[in-house]
Amino acid sequence: MLAKAVPTVPEPDSVRGGLRYEPKWDGFRGIVTVDGDSVEIGSRGAKPLTRYFPELVEAFRAQFGGRGHPVVLDGEVILRSGDPGAERLDWEALSQRIHPAASRIAKLSAETPAQFVAFDLLAADGEELLDLPFDERRSRLDVLSEDISDPLFVTRTTLDVDLAREWLTTFEGAGLDGVVAKPRAKPYEPNKRTMLKVKHHRTADVVAIGYRVHKSGTGVGSLLVGLYGDDGELRQVGGVSAFSDKRRVELVDELDRVVHRDADGRPVTGDGERSRFASGRDTSFVRLEPSLVLEVRYDQMEGDRFRHTVQFERWRPDREAASCRFDQLEVPTAYDLDDVLLSD
């Protein structure tokens, strides 16, 4: 079941039957099936994740494997880091867990163990529960999970919209990225955007440092952007994409005057970072002279990079590139992740 983005935390009576609110976890969505000693973890897109998280397989087997009937949970695989009392979600460490080498997986499972936060129950005690209202599924999840322990958790939930709005602000300090509102009376509807999600939205002025050609071979596929640090170094912080066909072509012309060229007038290219999720993808890009400033919309940072792809808002010809620094970014107040996980 998927979520539709909305700009603000909705009122509980905005949906027939009311809404129940949860923190929005920032990890790998996972559907977990436990049937005796058999444990399978599948991603939202049905990709198998089981081999990457042996510590979770062991925990699911120990805590749910002896029930005599399959248990199917919907939730999020997360990983936390930081000093005690100041832990937060760590997306970068979590993404490192997707590795082809079994020895590397075994090493990381011991050094950076993952956790699982359940937020829905799809089958238990010999029953499929998808047709039940969410409130009833949630109640069954609470009963089933009364005795679970770290690394398995159940997400907190509330019917209080004011508390949900407070979570939107405070829990960001622990690395969470918003709030989800779920219709209390609805069944579980796979592939439908029945849930509502509210994420943080901010703007920043950044420098255009390069672009990748669209996979069609025509126009700008993504625009690479950077910010200056205190040391005066310009660092890549993310990318802008989702341009229309027409806009992609227009951008090539708009950027032509700042394309970095060699002595023969040919565009200079660079090789970008490779993703472990798509290691074979072409990451080359056309270098741009760092002079154009644009305003982008983003939700949150992960270290010194934008956590997700950002959205183009407008060009800022009134800004100097050198003024686009990290210190313009809003930094959320720290909040200990344990205070989110270990709810009453």
Query: Among residues 176, 208, 230, which one has the least CA distance to residue 288?
Result: 208
* Residue 57: how many other CB atoms lie within 10 Å: 21
The reply to whether omega before 133 is within 30° of 0 (cis) is no
**Catalytically annotated residue among 24, 182, 186, 197:** 24
Report d(CA 30, CA 64) in Å as an integer.
16
Residue 210 half-sphere exposure toward CB, CA atoms < 13 A: 22
Alpha-carbon distances of 300 from 91, 116, 199, 200, rounded to whole Å: 12, 22, 9, 7
Would you call 24 a catalytic residue per the annotation? yes
Q: Which residues are catalytic?
A: 24
